[in-house]
Structure 1
Amino acid sequence: MSIQFSYYRNIHASHMILTPALEGEPWEKEMLWRNRPRELILPEYNSRNGQTQLWYDITGKQAVDMLAELSDISYEIFIKICEAVVAMAEVLDGLLISPDILLLRPESIFFDNQTENVSFCCYFGNEKEIGKSFHELLEYLLAKLDHKNVNGVQTAYELFEYTRMDGYCIAEIKKILRKAEYTENVPEKITETVWKEEESEYMSIPVENKKKGILRLWQQKEQNIFGRIRKLLQGGKIPEKKVEPFVFEPEPEINMHQQNPTVLLADLPKKEYGILKYEGNGTCSELSIDHTPYIIGSELDCDGVIPSGTVSRHHARITRKGEVYFIEDLNSSNGTMVGGELLNCRVKMSLQAQETVMFADEKFRFI
């Protein structure tokens, strides 16, 4: 079954729209709508052009696949997603509802921009059981995972391998996650650098093993010394290291004209980039779009930082194709407007010269 995704935004909210709209058992819907589990996004059923659609309110949330486009998935986010899946599965089991209704796709799992809580979409009639869906999600996350955390990568692969098993238990994943949490909380062994003479290199050994390491090195050195003495007593000769003769070879003369060729200023490539000139009342500065993709937001890791409480951490993204710049809203909390038009999430709009761009209530002009 192919699920179609589309997006719509107005002044009040941002929605993800899914079709086809499948309905579950009446008692399931009644149970969910009465209890409304936290971090489970329940859809509204709307009819458009004779077709029923599922509308999910995703205002102020960013999908996992969007986060993965901005940067590698950190181990902390990876664990948070896994723990949230297990927790939501347990909540649904407590309501006697199959956790298969969770749509575990990167584009339908969301992080709240304010609380950083993980949210899932409820989709009745999901053809995949949660075990397979979770395995496919892990496969996606592994490809996007930041591999700098060795323990984290090991845990991720352990989870992935475990979910290969037929009929594995979601609850069993909690044990792997607990073990991972324990491993992360154990302080790393302090190491000292020791000169290893035999191999002419430095080696790092744990401090608690320092005495053993030094003793081992001295034992090896003693064996080498006694071996030399034995060989001398037996009338043998110790081979001397061969010293390669040094041969002086004059460097070829360099033509100074070739070494520093004259470059005409007209031949230098012109630096071309777009500019967002600030026209608001705050303390923001001009943004020079000297590369793409160019992320704009209030977070310090953005390419263009707008220090405003109304601007989301990762608010919008600018890309370029040929000479044309495009802008898209990253499902920010307060929206992005171009030429007075509010952008839908994930929809790219071209930027025209002298066009106004509003990031929440901060006004810029593209030049």
Structure 2
Amino acid sequence: MKTEYLRTASNSYMIIKDAEYLFEPYELQMVLRNKMEHLLSMQIMISDGKTEYWYDVTGMQSLAQKLTMQTAGGALVRKAAEEICGMKTELEEYLLQDIDIVYDPEMIFMDRKETSIKFCYIPGFGTEKRGGVKGLLEKFLQRLDHSDAAAVRLAYGLYERCETDDLTLRDYYDCLYGKKQKEDEAEERRMDAMMYAKASENMELSEQRRSEDVLDLVKGDVKQLKRKRRFFHREKRKIPDQSSVTYDVGSEEVESFMVAERKPSENWEETVCFSAAERKTVWVLEYKGDGLEDDLRMEQFPYRIGKHGSDVEGKLYAQTVSRMHAQITQDEEAHLWISDFNSTNGTYLNGHLIPMNTPMRIQEGDRVIFATEEYILEKK
């Protein structure tokens, strides 16, 4: 199986090639003729006599990109688990199996608002006995935010169940909600019944006591009422004046202690020579546009570019730039590579629109355009 990406003027596609798996004919027809909420929209293309699956990923970001930019918190883990439950339920309605779902973060996509997750369904994919949801959970554990108790409980709870058997919907519900909804409702009804019985018992006791008091007044049993009142009018006990109490505290000797003074450095007045070896070369994207952007100085890699200030190293302000637009990485040979994060208006290298999730080599003097903002790569 081979994965490629293609970008047109209006759409982005993930293309699966060489996926010649055995499957029942109705499976492919179910996916093509029904619009399923939890699956990527798929089309069939025939090239050189071979079948290609084209998945529309316009305006979406892969889960792998999401996990490289941030750790997996409780909200993300819960969202993924809930979407898997929805996907499994939907597939059962169409007589399909989730073993044909690719649980690779590179092939699971989220919309930009992170409100939905869509999965890639390849007919016959499960016949190769590939890894299922366990592999996906391992990727989550590698990027898990261990300071988030909810994320740790849910991710490890699901992973432990994967060790013994395949996960069922009941396993997901137990880890997500603790108890089944019916069990919770039964417990709630039982508690309501107990509270109602207790309230009724208290009301009966109050009515009985009120009747006895009224009966005493009618009979004129004044003595009995006086005895009741006398109980509440006991003489107050005298409390000794605490202000006059003194305490004999023996004097304790306080041991003297020494405070060590910071010893000044022996060579603090010497001048340190700056070695030429300490100088380093940095890559700079010099701004050549007509807007208000600044040069981008890349001192660490990966270097992410976009207008989402908290998740990027190179922040741009143009409205045409996506929140997470592109990324530049450096390999072991100090070569630079640029990748587009399926941005809305694309990334151009020397005038050519580059496909999403496909690293392209860039060198000194290359012209890079992020949507409408132009830069030249320089070494300084």
Q: TM-score, normalised by structure 2?
A: 0.70
Deviations 1:304-339 (A, max 9, x none): 111233322211111224553321112223221110
Q: Which has the larger radius of gyration?
A: 2
Deviation for aligned residue 1:249: 9.1
Equivalent residue, structure 2, for 1:328? 339
- Aligned residue for 1:288, secondary structure, equals strand
Number of equivalent positions: 306
1:63-142 alignment, distance < 5 Å: 63-114=62-113, 116-127=115-126, 133-142=132-141
Partner in structure 2 of residue 6 of structure 1: 4
Given that residues 62 and 110 in structure 2 are in contact (C-alpha distance below 8 angstroms), is that contact kept between their aligned partners in structure 1? Answer: yes
User: Does residue 1:341 correspond to 2:352, yes or no?
Assistant: yes
**Partner AA of 1:358 in structure 2:** I
Change (3 A) 1:96 1:171: farther
How far 1:357 moved relative to its partner? Answer: 1.0
Q: SS in structure 1 opposite 2:155?
A: helix
Q: Does 1:316 align with 2:315?
A: no
Cα deviation, residue 130, structure 1: 10
Amino acid at match of 1:313: R
3-state secondary structure, aligned to 1:127: helix
Q: Deviations over 1:275-311 (max 9, x none)?
A: 2222334332222212211100121121111123332
Q: Name the SS of the counterpart of 2:95 in structure 1.
A: coil
C-alpha contact 2:74 2:150 (8 A) present in aligned 1: no
Q: What is the deviation of 1:164?
A: 2.7
Partner of residue 286, structure 2: 277
Seq. identity, %:
29
Per the TM alignment, residue 132 of structure 1 is displaced from its structure 2 partner at its CA by 6.1
Q: What are the Cα deviations for residues 248-287 of structure 1, in whole angstroms up to 9, with x where unaligned? A: 99998964xx334323346473353222222334332222
8 A Cα contact 2:32 2:43, kept in partner? no
Single out whichever of 275-284 and 127-136 deviates more from structure 2.
127-136
Deviation for aligned residue 1:349: 2.2
Amino acid at match of 2:313: D
Q: Contact 1:21–1:53 at 8 Å: present in 2 too?
A: no
**SS of equivalent residue, structure 1 residue 353:** coil
What residue identity is the alignment partner of 1:312? S
CA gap of 1:143–1:250, structure 2 versus 1, over 3 A, is closer
Preserved CA contact (<8 Å) 1:41 1:119: yes
Quick check: 1:61 aligned with 2:60? Answer: yes
Residue 161 of structure 2 is aligned to residue 162 of structure 1: yes
SS state at 1:84 partner = helix
CA distance in 2, matches of 1:167, 1:252: 64
- State the distance in 2 between where 1:294 and 1:104 align: 27
| Separation (CA, whole Å) in 1 of partners of 2:109 and 2:363 | 32
Who is 1:307 aligned against? 317
| 1:345 Cα deviation from its structure 2 partner | 2.4
What residue number does 2:270 align with? 261
Q: Using the alignment, how far apart are the partners of 1:354 and 1:259 within structure 2?
A: 44
CA shift at 1:57, angstroms?
1.9
- Higher percent of residues as strand: 1
Query: Is 1:293 paired with 2:292?
Result: no
SS across alignment from 1:350: strand
Q: Distance in 2 between matches of 1:332 and 1:157?
A: 33
Please say if residues 99 and 130 of structure 1, whose CA atoms lie closer than 8 Å, have aligned partners that are also in contact.
Answer: no
Q: Give 1:39 shift.
A: 3.2
Shift of 1:88: 0.8
Give the 3 Å change call, closer, same or farther, for CA 69–259 of structure 1 in structure 2.
Answer: same
Residue type of the alignment partner of 2:293: C
Q: In the TM superposition, what whole-angstrom CA distance separates every residue of 1:120-178 from its partner, at most 9, and x where no partner exists?
A: 11111122699961222212212211111123201221121123332542244123212
- Cα RMSD for the two superposed structures: 3.3
Q: Deviations over 1:85-140 (max 9, x none)?
A: 11011011112222222211111111112454211111111226999612222122
Contact 2:144 2:151 in 1 (8 A): no
Length-normalised TM-score, structure 1: 0.72
* Contact in 2 for aligned 1:46/1:55 (Cα 8 Å): yes
Distance 1:245-1:152 versus aligned 2 partners, 3 A rule: same
Instruction: Tell which deviates more after alignment, 282-291 or 103-112.
Output: 282-291
